[in-house]
Amino acid sequence: MRHGTQLNRESERTGMEPSKVYFTDMRALPGTNLQQKLKRLILKAGIGQIDFQDKYAAIKIHFGEPGNLSYLRPNFAKTVADAVKELGGRPFLTDCNTLYVGRRKNALDHIEAAYENGFSPFSTGCQIIIADGLKGTDEVDVPVRGGEYIREAHIGRAVMDADIFISLSHFKGHESTGFGGAIKNIGMGCGSRAGKMEMHSAGKPYVIEEQCVSCGMCAKSCAHDAISFAEDKKARIDHSLCAGCGRCIGICHRDAIKAADDESFDNLNQKVAEYTKAVVDGRSCFHISLVVDVSPQCDCHSGNDAAMVPDVGMFASFDPVALDVACADAVNAQPPIPNSQLKEHWDEGGDHFHKVGPNTNWKVGIAHAVKLGVGTTEYELIRV
């Protein structure tokens, strides 16, 4: 069955054929289970067409901020990792450190948070590697062909060192980008701390003076001599010298330095698309999204609101754009769940994500990804 949206004109201008998106629902009758269905889905979608033999395969996943319970279960990660190993590959689970203050700000805390949420080599059958290193500064500058906002994307080194890239995404709402799917998981998720700051911010980091204890660590870490201390012994950042790398944010043990976080949502979406382009360009990739526990906000929060719609199913494709559009269409076709944020804003018709995030427009990022050649919005949905 062929599908598409009003964004199809953009796809038609690129001359791209409809992409195949494979789908299976969440029904599991006696004698089968969801992990078996997921494996069947990704094999049918063609993951076996990739040459995995003796190759490193990065499986990009969100481990969930502790306290949040809507992130993907580790069982799904194990299914994908096991399939990669059966195909001869060497998988590892990965994510990059966060820009904001939380339990995933550095690699040690990040791995502990992953373990706390059930992700470990024992539960998933593969190792966990935080792609941008201990403090979020281990990065590769990757050129963005055709980029309008980003010349070089700052991507976690382990993501780029991998031979094959797989995104395993929890499809849900997002307060800044409209929804978080494959493109959000790839673009924002693979950015190092400097990359995340570049996407989120039009300005430079700043100091919260009342939290600064004058330890001097930020100044020592700054390669551009942009940080000094005034008579009150509080750190100051000279924005004329600051390169926006974010090292000071990672080094501050008092969380006294913050990113500007002042970029418009439309520009943020387009920057995320450009970072996605940097990650997937010219390499073997495969993408999986699970439309389950569709919470209205990101899994980065240390809590989650009730799901907006019933669980839909599992989707897979070689095209992350078509995958995101297919998932969004599937969510928008669902009725709101009572006592959910969507139900509170409900009226017939319209886009579910815009209802819970009226200041966001996910279609801007999708259109930009199409323009960059990341994929197409027109897709053929194949039920497995």
In angstroms, the Cα distances linking 61 to 15, 109, 121, 146, 220 are 31, 16, 14, 27, 33
Judged against a pLDDT cut of 50, whether residue 28 lies above it is answered with yes
Kind of pairing between the strands at 90-95 and 56-60: parallel
Judged against a pLDDT cut of 60, whether residue 10 lies above it is answered with no
In angstroms, the Cα distances linking 301 to 8, 259, 261, 306 are 33, 17, 16, 13
Q: What is the pLDDT of residue 3?
A: 63
Q: Are 366 and 7 in contact (CB under 8 A)?
A: yes
| Strand (E) or helix (H) holding 8 | helix 8-14
Say what percent of the chain tops pLDDT 90: 84
Q: What is the pLDDT of residue 12?
A: 47
**pLDDT tens-place string over residues 313-347:** 999 999 999 999 999 999 999 999 999 999 998 88
The predicted model gives 126-139 an average pLDDT of: 96
Q: What is the pLDDT of residue 145?
A: 97
Judged against a pLDDT cut of 80, whether residue 357 lies above it is answered with yes
Among 132-136, 213-217, 244-248, the least confident range: 244-248
Distance CA 168, CA 190 (A): 13
Distance CA 71, CA 64 (A): 5
DSSP codes, 33-98: -HHHHHHHHHHHTTGGGS--TT-EEEEE-----TT---SPPHHHHHHHHHHHHHTT-EEEEEE---
> Residue 6 — pLDDT band, cuts 50, 70, 90?
very low
Judged against a pLDDT cut of 90, whether residue 36 lies above it is answered with yes
Distance CA 3, CA 237 (A): 50
Mapped onto helix, strand or coil, the DSSP state of residue 210 is helix
Q: Is residue 379 exposed (0-12), middle (13-18) or buried (19+ Cβ within 10 Å)?
A: buried
**pLDDT tens-place string over residues 251-303:** 888 889 888 878 899 999 999 999 999 999 999 999 999 999 999 999 999 99
Q: What is the pLDDT of residue 126?
A: 98
Q: Is pTM beyond 0.85 here?
A: yes
**pLDDT tens-place string over residues 167-221:** 999 999 999 999 999 999 999 999 999 999 999 987 788 899 999 999 999 999 8
Lookup: tokens for 338:
């009572």
**pLDDT tens-place string over residues 68-86:** 999 999 999 999 999 999 9
Mean pLDDT of the chain, nearest integer: 93
